[in-house]
Amino acid sequence: MLTLRGPKIPRRGSALEELAIIHDGSLLVRDGVLQEVGPTRRVENLALARNAVEISAGGRVVMPGFVDSHTHLLFPSVARAAGPSDSEVAAGARTLRSTTGMRLETRARLHLEAMARHGTTTVEVKTGCGPDPSAEMKILRVLASLKQKPLDIVPTFLLRLPHADFWAEDQWPAVEEWIGAEFLPKIRRRRLARFADLYWQEDAGLGASGRQYLEVARRIGMGAKVHAEVPSPSAAVALAAEHHAASVDHLEYASADDAAVLGRSGTVATLLPGASFHRDGCYAPARSLIQAGAAVALATNFNPHHTPTLNMQAIVQLACYRMGMTPAQAISAATINGAHALACADTVGSLEPGKSADVLILNISDYHDLAHHFGMNLVHTTIKRGEIIWEEGKVAPRPVQALRPSW
C-alpha cells in the first residue's frame, strides 16, 4: 500500500521518492473518510473495524486516486491536430454558444466516467474560449452541475489575451478593466471557478495585462495559474513565481534558469507529457526541474481534439520513459503534488486519516510495474469518498438471443 503520507507541503527532490509504503496495509473508512491507515494486524483489531465490510486487495497494489491537475474537458470542437489558433478557438466558442448545456454535460460525463475507470478521482477542468462571456459561463455552469458525479471537479477560468476575434485592439483597455472589475468577481461570487489561469503568449505584450489579471484574481480570493507552453517561458515562469501561482504548466521549453526560479518558489511545475506525445515530441526537462528543487506534478492536458489522452497511468509511463522520472517520482507527481497544484492536498492525494477515501486497487503486485504497461488499464477498483465507482468485470460472451427484442 502506497500511502504517500508525509509533510503538508509539495514534494521536492528526494522527497518525491518517498511513497510511505506499508507492505501489508489496511484502510478503515467511515462515511467516505479515512479513519485509520496502517498495518493490517493493527487496523483489524480496532473496535471500529469489527463490523466493517471487507474489500480484499490481496496481491495487488493499493494507492491514492490520481489527481489530474490540468485538463480541457469541454474544449471547443475544432478540427486540428496541433494547438488551436485564436481564430479556431473563436469558431469553437461560437459552436459552444449554440450547443445546449445538456449536450455538453452528457459529453463531459462520458469523459469523466472514462477517467474514473482509469483511476482518476479528482480532476481540474479549464474553460478557455477567450473572453467570450456566454461560452465561458456555459462551461462553468455545466462543470458546477457535474461536481462529484462521480469525480471531484476543480473548475478553472482560463483567459487568452488578446483575442482579436472578439474585440479590436483599441478596445483592449476597456476589456481588461471589465474582466478584472466585473467578470472575474462575478465568477468568484457564484463560486464557479477556483482558479484564474493566464494563457501566456510571448508576442502579445502581456506583461502589464497578465500581472493585473493575476493581481485581481488573488485580491478576490482566487488561486492563480499560468500556461507556459511557449518556446521562451522565462517571463511566464517569473510572473507565476512573483504572484505565488499554485502552478505554472507545460514548461516544455523551460531552461536551467527557469528551473532555478521554480526551485526557489512555492509554485508547482505541472508537466504534461501527453501534450508532447501528441504534438512535437518536445518533453519538459523533468530531471532538471527536480534537481533544481522544483515541486513537479503530472497531468494529462486532456483535450478531446488535441490531446486525446485521459489515462493518468499512461502519463506516469510517459514521464518515466520520455522524461527520465523514476516510477516513485511519477506517482508522487500524479497524486500528492497534483493535489498541491490544485490547493486540495488537505483532502486528497494521499492515504491519511482525515482525508477523503479516494483509493485505487491495481492489478499489479509491485508499484514499479505501473511504468511498464503502456496504454493498459491496470485499475481493478476505483473508490471515491469510500464508494466503489468502478470495478473490473469479467469478459463474457453475451448470447445473441439477449439482443433480440422481446416483442
Domain shared by 188 and 43, yes or no: no
CA dist 379 and 119 (Å) reads 6
CA dist 125 and 140 (Å) reads 9
pLDDT tens figures, 206-223: 667 788 889 999 999 999
pLDDT of residue 77: 54
Give me the number of domains the chain comprises.
2
Q: What is the pTM of this model?
A: 0.92
pLDDT tens figures, 392-406: 988 877 777 666 766
pLDDT of residue 75: 75
Domain shared by 204 and 333, yes or no: yes
CA dist 249 and 197 (Å) reads 10
Domain with 42, as residue range(s), is: 13-64+350-391
3-state secondary structure of 308: coil
Over range 238-244, report the average pLDDT: 95
Domain shared by 145 and 279, yes or no: yes
250 lies in a domain?
yes
pLDDT bin (cut points 50, 70, 90) of residue 109 is very high
Grid coordinates representing 170 are 483599441
Assess whether pLDDT exceeds 80 at residue 162: no
Domain shared by 213 and 361, yes or no: no
Domain shared by 311 and 191, yes or no: yes
- Cβ count near 86 (within 10 Å): 16
The length of the chain, given as a count of residues? 407
More confident residue, 150 or 78: 150
Domain end position, chosen among 320, 341, 362: 341
CA dist 111 and 385 (Å) reads 20
Closest by CA position to 215, among listed 238, 191, 245: 245
Domain shared by 168 and 231, yes or no: yes
pLDDT tens figures, 292-343: 999 999 999 999 888 999 999 999 999 999 999 999 999 999 999 999 999 9
Structural element, H or E, at residue 97: helix 86-98
Domain shared by 324 and 368, yes or no: no
pLDDT tens figures, 31-83: 999 999 999 999 999 999 999 999 999 999 999 999 999 999 987 655 444 45
25 lies in a domain?
yes
CATH for 52: 2.30.40.10
CA dist 99 and 84 (Å) reads 20
259 lies in a domain?
yes
pLDDT of residue 79: 44
End-to-end CA distance of the chain: 52
Q: Residues with Cβ < 8 Å from 334, sequence gap 6 or more? A: 66, 67, 297, 298, 299, 312, 315, 316, 319
Domain shared by 47 and 139, yes or no: no
